[in-house]
Structure 1
Amino acid sequence: MRWEGNRQSRNVEDRRSGSGGLGGRSLGIGSIVIALVAGWIFGINPMTILGFMESATPPATQQQSTVTTDPLDDRMGQFVSTVLADTEDVWSDIFRQAGATYQEPRLVLFRDATPTSCGTGQAAMGPFYCPADGTVYIDLSFYEELKNRLGAPGEFAQAYVIAHEVGHHIQRLMGTTQKLDSLRSRISQAEYNQLSVRLELQADCYAGVWGHHADRQRQILENGDIEAAMNAAARIGDDALQRSAGQVVRPESFTHGTSAQRQRWFQRGLSSGDMGACDTFATQAL
C-alpha cells in the first residue's frame, strides 16, 4: 500500500506512553472474559459487547495520562495517522458533494487499557469506535494478532480495520447507530444480533467506499492489497472466529456477519464507491 509522504491527521491522540489512565483500577474478571470471547472481532462497540461496561470506573473519575505527539514518531503511528487523514479527505468530499459537512472523528492509540466515554477500553476488545465521544480506539498490538494469530498480514488489511471503524462514525453521523440503539430494549437479543450484523456489514461496505475513492484520488493500492483486505475480512467473520476457537458455529449468536458476507459487502463498496450501495438494512439477502 502506498501511503508514505501523504498527509497525517491532527486528530490522533497517542496514549501509549501513559499508564492507561485507570488509576490502578481495571475491569472485573467477568467483563474481561466477555471481552476476550469477542476480542478478535474488530469493530466491537463496548456499549454492545459489555453493556456499557458497568464494572468499569466512570470516565469522569478516572485519572488520564496521555502523551500526544505531532507528528507521531514511529512508523506504525504514522501509518495510522496517514490512513485516518485519508478517510478524512474522502469522506469530507463525499459529504460536501451531498451538501453536508463532515465531522472528523478522533483516534486514540493506547496500550492495554484506556478510559473512554463508553467505559474502559481494553486491548482484548480489539479496535472499536465509541459513539459517545466520536472516537476510534486502537491498541496497535492488534495488528500483530491480525497478522500472526489470524493470518491476515498486509498494510491495506490494517487500513481496512481503521476504515471499518470510521464507517461506524459515518453511521453515527447518519443517525443509523442511534436508530439501532433505540430498538435495543424493545427487541430480543437474537433480533438485535441480526440488526448488529447489518450494522457491521454496512461499516465494511463504507470501508470499501473509502478504498475506492482513496485509490482513484491517490493511487494507494498495490498488487495484492485487495486480496489482503479480503483475506482479513474472511478471517474475522463470525463463523471463522467461532471455528478457530474450537466452537460450534451458532448463526443466532453472530453480531458481525459471516466471512463471505464481510467480503461481499467490502467488495461492494470498493467496486462501486457509492454509499447508496451500502444499505444493508434494505435487503433480504446479505
Structure 2
Amino acid sequence: MRWRGREESSNVEDRRSDGGGIGDGGGGFRIPVGGLGRGGGPSIGVIVVVMVVLWFLGINPMVLLQGGSIDLGGGAPSPVREASRTGGGEDEMRQFVGVVLKETETTWDQIFKASGETYPKPKLVLFTGQIQSACGFASAASGPFYCPGDRKVYIDLAFYDELKRRFKAPGDFAQAYVIAHEVGHHIQNLTGVLPDFNEKRRSMSERDANAMSVRVELQADCYAGVWAADAERRGLLEAGDVEEALNAATQIGDDAIQKRMQGYVVPESFNHGTSEQRKRWFRTGYENGGPDACDTFSPRSL
C-alpha cells in the first residue's frame, strides 16, 4: 500500500501511555472484537475480526457478550507491544494507522456527500493492554473493536503482530483491512443497522443472534471492500494488496478459526462468517465499488 507521505487523520487518540485501568464497564457489554451491544445502554461494536482472536485463544466470546470480562494477564510481551513501550517502530505504525483512517474518511466523505449528507467521522483510539470505553472494559485479547456508544474504533497495535504470526496474514493492506472493517461498523451505526440489531437481539435465541451477527459482520467486510476500490482508484494500492486482504479474511473466518482451535466446526456458533463468505463479501464491495452492493440481509445473500 502506498501510504508513506500521505496525510494523517486528526481523529486518532493515542492512549497507549494511559496504563488502561480496569473499570466496571458501566453496565455495557464487554467487547469481543467488533461485537454488538444491547440496546438501552452502551452498545458494542460487532466486528471485525475479532471474536476471531477470542476463538483462537480458546475463549468463548459469549462470556463477554453476557457481561463477563477477560484479561490474559502475564505472558511475554509481543514484539509489537514491546515496541510500543520502548519507541521502536511504533511511530511508523502510528502514522500508518493515521493515514489509513484518513483514507477511509476521504472515501466515506465522498459517498455521504453524493447522497446530500455529511459524514460524521469516528475517532480511532490506540491503547496498550486494556482500555475503558463507553461500551465497557476490554483487554487486548478482545482484538480491535468499534463502540457505538462513543463512535470510536479501538485497537491495540499488538494485534497486528498476532495477525501476522498466528493468523498467517501479513502485509500492510491486511492491517488496513482491519481498520476499514471496523469503520464499516461505524457506517452501520450511522445507517441504523447496529441499533436495529441491538434491539432485535434482545428477543432472539443465541443461535438466531449469531446468524444475524454474521450478516452484520459480512456487511462490514463488504464496506471494507468498497473502501479498497476507492483507494485503488486514488492510486494507493500496490500489486498483491487485495490478495493480502482476501488472505486475512480467509484466516479469520469462523470455520478456519474453529478448525485451528478444536479440529472441527460448529456452524450454529458462527458469528462472523466463514472464510468463503468473508472473502466473497469483501470482493463484492471491491468489485462493485459502492455500498448499495452490500445488502447482506436479503434472504439469498448468504
TM over 0.5: yes
Residue 53 of structure 1 contacts residue 119 of structure 1 at CA under 8 Å; is this kept in 2? no
The Cα of 1:274 is off from its aligned counterpart by 1.2
Partner residue in 1 for 2:7 = 7
> For residues 5 and 132 of structure 2, what CA distance do their matches in structure 1 show?
32
For residue 297 of structure 2, give the secondary structure of its aligned residue in structure 1. Answer: helix
SS in 2 for 1:129: strand
**Paired letter, 1:83:** V
Residue from 93, 112, 128 that aligns with 2:145: 128
What is the aligned partner in structure 2 of residue 281 from structure 1?
297
Q: Does structure 1 residue 202 correspond to structure 2 residue 219?
A: yes
What is the CA deviation profile of residues 175-206 of structure 1, one whole-angstrom value per residue up to 9, with x for unaligned ones?
A: 00011111112121111111000000000000
Partner of 2:277: 261
Sequence identity (%): 52
Q: Higher relative contact order by CA 8 Å / sep ≥ 6: 1 or 2? A: 2
3-state DSSP class of the match of 2:272? coil
Q: CA RMSD in A?
A: 2.7
Deviations 1:45-98 (A, max 9, x none): 999762374669xxxxxxxxxxxxxxx970001000100000011101100001
**Residue from 106, 110, 119 that aligns with 2:136:** 119
**Counterpart of 1:61?**
none
Conserved 8 A contact 1:205-1:270: yes
Partner of 1:65: none
**1:1-150 alignment to 2 at 5 Å?**
1-22=1-22, 42-44=49-51, 50-51=64-65, 53=67, 74-150=91-167
**TM-score normalized by the length of structure 1:** 0.85
Is 1:223 aligned with 2:265? no
Change over 3 Å in CA distance of 1:259–1:55 after alignment to 2:
closer
Runs of 4+ in 1 over 2 A off after TM superposition: 43-49, 51-56
Distance 1:198 1:52, change over 3 A: same
Aligned-partner residue type, residue 42 of structure 1: V
Instruction: Please show how residues 165-180 of structure 1 align to structure 2 within 5 Å.
Output: 165-180=182-197
Partner in structure 1 of residue 43 of structure 2: none
Q: Which runs of 5+ in 1 are unaligned?
A: 57-71
AA of the residue aligned to 2:14: D
Total equivalences in the alignment: 262
Q: Name the CA shift for 1:54/1:144 in 2 (closer, same or farther; >3 Å).
A: closer
CA contact (8 A) 2:168 2:251 kept: yes
Give the superposition deviation at 1:284: 1.6
Aligned equivalents of 1:55, 1:142: Cα separation in 2: 18
CA, structure 1 residues 48+269, in 2 after alignment: closer, same or farther (shift >3 Å)? Answer: farther
TM-score (norm 2): 0.81
Partner of 1:234: 250
1:204-236 deviation per Cα after TM superposition (whole angstroms, max 9, x unaligned): 00000011112112x111111111110000000
For residues 118 and 177 of structure 2, the distance between their equivalents in structure 1, rounded to whole angstroms, comes to 23
